[in-house]
C-alpha cells in the first residue's frame, strides 16, 4: 500500500471531486513510499508533524493545508523569499518533513462531501442534532436540522457543553437569548454563510470563524433576526477527523491507523473574579 494508492481510493469514492482542481493530493513526500502506519489529524501543523515523526508514522493524513495556503502548496512556498518570516518558517518546516521521510496526504474535498460520514454529517451527530438533515444547501455542505423549540441562550449552552470536550467551553452568540429557535443551520470551514441558512428556513445557524471572519454577513443576519452561534474552525471539524480515522481503518484494514486530536485552535482565558 502506497500513499498514491490511498489517495486513489479516496478519489475513486468521490465522484463530486474534480481531480484536476482538487487540493486532495500528496502534499509532500514520496507518493510511492510503502505505508504501514497512518496518523490522521485536522491540521498538519508543526506539533502534528513532529508527533508523526517521533511516533514513527509513515503517513500523516491532514484535512487542512501544511503550508498555510489552500492550493499548490509547494509551488507557492517555493516563490517566497526565505529571508522573510513566512518564507523562513516554510523552508524550515519543509526541510524537517523532507529529512524525516514523512509523507503528508491531504483529504479535504473528498471528506467535506462524503455522504453521511463526512465533515458536516459528523458535526451534526457530535452536536446531537440527528442523522438526517431536514434541508440541504448547494453541495450538501450547509444543512438544516429541526429540533424542539428552545431559547437561543439555552441552546447555545448545550452547544458549548459539547464543544467543551474539544477545547472550546464557551461559544459566541448573536441574537436575543430568550428568543425560541428550532431550525438549526450547520456548516464548517468556509461553507457556513448565514444568508444561505436563512434561505434554508433556519432561525439560528452554528457557524465557524473561518467562514465568518468578517462582520458583514453576521451583521446582515442579525438585522434579519437570524441568530448566530459561532465556534472555532478546528472545533467544528474535529468530529469529522474522528470519523475519517474510522473510515481509513475500515477501508484499509491492514494499516495501523491512529487519530491525533486537534480541536479548537484557541484557549479561552477570562478575567478572574475577585
Does some domain include residue 260? Answer: no
- Shared domain check, 87 and 128: no
pLDDT at site 114:
95
Which of 112, 137, 169 is the last residue before a domain boundary?
Answer: 112
Does some domain include residue 44? Answer: yes
Per-residue confidence band for 198, with pLDDT thresholds at 50, 70 and 90: very high
Enclosing H/E stretch for 89? helix 85-100
Per residue in 116-155, pLDDT tens?
Answer: 999 999 999 999 999 999 999 987 889 999 999 999 999 9
User: HSE-up of 245 (CA within 13 Å, CB side)?
Assistant: 19
Per-residue confidence band for 271, with pLDDT thresholds at 50, 70 and 90: confident
- Shared domain check, 208 and 175: yes
Residues spanned by the domain of 48: 3-112
* Cα angle 57, 43, 91; round to 5: 80
Task: Residue 179: give its domain's CATH number.
Answer: 3.40.1390.30
Which burial class, exposed, middle or buried, applies to 49 when counting CB atoms under 10 A from its CB (0-12, 13-18, 19+)? buried
- Shared domain check, 152 and 45: no
Per residue in 2-25, pLDDT tens?
Answer: 999 999 999 999 999 999 999 999
The model carries a pTM of 0.94
pLDDT at site 188:
87
Does some domain include residue 257? Answer: no
Per-residue confidence band for 273, with pLDDT thresholds at 50, 70 and 90: low
Which of 76, 96, 112 is the last residue before a domain boundary?
Answer: 112
Integer angstrom CA distances of residue 175 from 142, 203, 236, 266: 20, 10, 20, 24
Distance in angstroms (rounded) separating the CA atoms of residues 212 and 210: 6
Identify whether the C-beta of residue 204 lies closer than 8 Å to the C-beta of residue 154. no
Amino acid at each position: 500500500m502506497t500513499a498514491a494508492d490511498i489517495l486513489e481510493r479516496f478519489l475513486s469514492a468521490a465522484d463530486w471531486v474534480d481531480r484536476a482542481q482538487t487540493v486532495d493530493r500528496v502534499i509532500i513526500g514520496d507518493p510511492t513510499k510503502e505505508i504501514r502506519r497512518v496518523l490522521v489529524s485536522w491540521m498538519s501543523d508543526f506539533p502534528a508533524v513532529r508527533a508523526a515523526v517521533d511516533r514513527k508514522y509513515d503517513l500523516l493524513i491532514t484535512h487542512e493545508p501544511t503550508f498555510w495556503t489552500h492550493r499548490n502548496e509547494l509551488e507557492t512556498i517555493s516563490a517566497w523569499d526565505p529571508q522573510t518570516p513566512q518564507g523562513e518558517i516554510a523552508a524550515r518546516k519543509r526541510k524537517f518533513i523532507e529529512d524525516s521521510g514523512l509523507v503528508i496526504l491531504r483529504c479535504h474535498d473528498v471528506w467535506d462531501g462524503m455522504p453521511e460520514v463526512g465533515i458536516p454529517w459528523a458535526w451534526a451527530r457530535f452536536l446531537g442534532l440527528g442523522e438526517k438533515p431536514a434541508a440541504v444547501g448547494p453541495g450538501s455542505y450547509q444543512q438544516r436540522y429541526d429540533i424542539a423549540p428552545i431559547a437561543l441562550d439555552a441552546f447555545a449552552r448545550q452547544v458549548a457543553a459539547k464543544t467543551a470536550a474539544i477545547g472550546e467551553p464557551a461559544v459566541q452568540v448573536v441574537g436575543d437569548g430568550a428568543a425560541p429557535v428550532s431550525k438549526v443551520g450547520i456548516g464548517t470551514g468556509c461553507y457556513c454563510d448565514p444568508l444561505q441558512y436563512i434561505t434554508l428556513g433556519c432561525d439560528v445557524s452554528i457557524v465557524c470563524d473561518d467562514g465568518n471572519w468578517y462582520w458583514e454577513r453576521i451583521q446582515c443576519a442579525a438585522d434579519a433576526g437570524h441568530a448566530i452561534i459561532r465556534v472555532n474552525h478546528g472545533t467544528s471539524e474535529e468530529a469529522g477527523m474522528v470519523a475519517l480515522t474510522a473510515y481509513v481503518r475500515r477501508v484499509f484494514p491492514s494499516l495501523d491507523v491512529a487519530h491525533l486530536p486537534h480541536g479548537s485552535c484557541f484557549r479561552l482565558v477570562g478575567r478572574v473574579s475577585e
